[in-house]
Amino acid sequence: MAQSKRIVVERTQAAAAARASEIFKSVVSDSVKRRGVCGLALSGGTTPRSMYQHLARSAIIDEVPWSKVEVFFGDERDVPLDNVESNYGMVQRVLLDNAPIDLSRVHPMRADAEDIDAAAGEYERTIRQIIPVGENGVPRFDLIMLGAGGDGHTASLFPGGKALDEEEKLVVACHVPVLGRRRMTFTFPLINASENILLLVTGDDKADVVQRILEGDAVPAHNGSVGTDGRRTAALPAARIDPENGTFHVVLDAAAGKLLSKNTVSKS
Ligand code: 6PG
């Protein structure tokens, strides 16, 4: 279970991006203060991109101790890094090109590799070399940034996907039928080992999935999977985000949070 969960709702999408940027800065700075380094994993998607854009344009960009940040990616599409669809390419153009970061500390996923399974294993090895493990022996990121799709996917963990139930591997390649494409993605054992998770979701079209993620029945009557403990788990992938002994930061705009009951939202 998350040690703490804070769900904040900002009036507009821009205000949500700004709030997420502030949380990003304080978590990264705090990690560097405590550990001398920050292990960070970034997400693709237009909503996470709005935070990267805010970071790049605001004074915050100069307040982040970038020289001590190791940047990884929570998932990637099966395209070259300079392709317009690449998560790495988007983050580099929007954020990293505007940040004083040491590119030797930026670790792109190679989901365009001929042998994507081998590349996933390689990426996991790189994570294990750089990110210290927590008590459960799993590398513990200081911060993992996530978005959520309208179908409740997060990273590249899509409803019904085999990767949802992976309990050993930390990074896997997967085929996403709804996209007809391959992806590479963190799995939940790695995501939920993180010290902090920042989930940013905005837009009217996400209201239903946000309500189901944050208030839905974690034991759905239909097509949930059954964990090794026999407990059925949420059918919506993003409903399974739960940083053990970590902090779960959720930032929404009013449109995405409009179906939430009052007592779900943290008193900011
Ligand atoms: C990706 C992301 C994905 C994204 C969500 C939200 O590769 O696209 O990793 O998980 O964060 O789909 O995307 P939007 O904010 O664009 O809806």
**How many percent of the chain have pLDDT more than 90?**
89
Q: How confident is the model at residue 2 (pLDDT cuts 50, 70, 90)?
A: confident
Nearest CA to ligand 1 atom 12: 149
Per residue in 137-159, pLDDT tens? Answer: 999 999 999 999 999 999 999 99
Q: Which residues contact 149 (CB under 8 A, 6 or more apart)?
A: 45, 158, 209
Beta strands in the chain (DSSP E): 4-10, 38-42, 69-73, 75-77, 143-146, 171-176, 181-186, 196-201, 247-253
* Burial bucket for residue 53 (CB in 10 Å: 0-12, 13-18, 19+): middle
Per residue in 68-91, pLDDT tens? Answer: 999 999 999 999 999 999 999 999
Per residue in 26-46, pLDDT tens? Answer: 999 999 999 999 999 999 999
pLDDT at 213 over 90: yes
Query: In this predicted structure, what is the pLDDT of residue 221?
Result: 37
Average pLDDT in the chain:
93
Query: In this predicted structure, what is the pLDDT of residue 3?
Result: 81
What's the half-sphere exposure (Cβ side, CA atoms, 13 Å) at 107?
23
pLDDT at 257 over 70: yes
Of the candidate ranges 116-125, 175-184, 189-198, the one whose mean pLDDT is the lowest: 175-184
200 CA distance to ligand 1 middle (Å)? 10
The structure's pTM equals: 0.94
Neighbours of 227 (CB within 10 A): 13
Per residue in 215-251, pLDDT tens? Answer: 985 444 344 555 555 555 567 999 999 999 999 999 9
Which of 43, 88, 146 is the best mutation target for the ligand 1 pocket, counting ligand atoms within 8 Å of the beta carbon and taking the most? 43
Rounded to an integer, what distance in angstroms lies between the CA atom of residue 72 and that of residue 127? 8
148 CA distance to ligand 1 middle (Å)? 6
Query: In this predicted structure, what is the pLDDT of residue 189?
Result: 98
185 lines ligand 1 (CB under 6 A): no
